Amino acid sequence: MKRWLSYKGVTEWTSLSESTVRRLISEGRFPAPEEVTPGRKVFDGSAVEAAMERLMEERRHAATTATNAVIQGHR
């Protein structure tokens, strides 16, 4: 069964602020919520989990790239 999350549920689960979630959605880096009833939007938990994995991979890649640049600068 799918797990559905509100904005509050997403922020509690991911530790991201609501403004960060909204920014990531606008950048296309986080899944947009679906409106299930007028005024009620929910996120697909599996899509949120996949997005968080991608964000963490981006972060790891950026850190590795920065570290490699520092190492190259010291040669």
* pLDDT value of position 27: 97
* pLDDT value of position 13: 96
pLDDT tens for residues 16-66?
999 999 999 999 999 999 999 999 999 999 999 999 999 999 988 887 765
* pLDDT value of position 70: 58
Which domains does the chain carry?
A: 4-73 (1.10.1660)
> pTM for this structure?
0.80
Query: What is the amino acid identity at position 40?
Result: R
Contacts 24+ apart (CB under 8 A), 11-17: 13/45, 13/48, 14/48, 14/52
Q: Which residues contact 48 (CB under 8 A, 6 or more apart)?
A: 5, 10, 13, 14, 30, 31
Structure tokens, 62: 């950026």
Q: Which residues contact 11 (CB under 8 A, 6 or more apart)?
A: 17, 18, 21
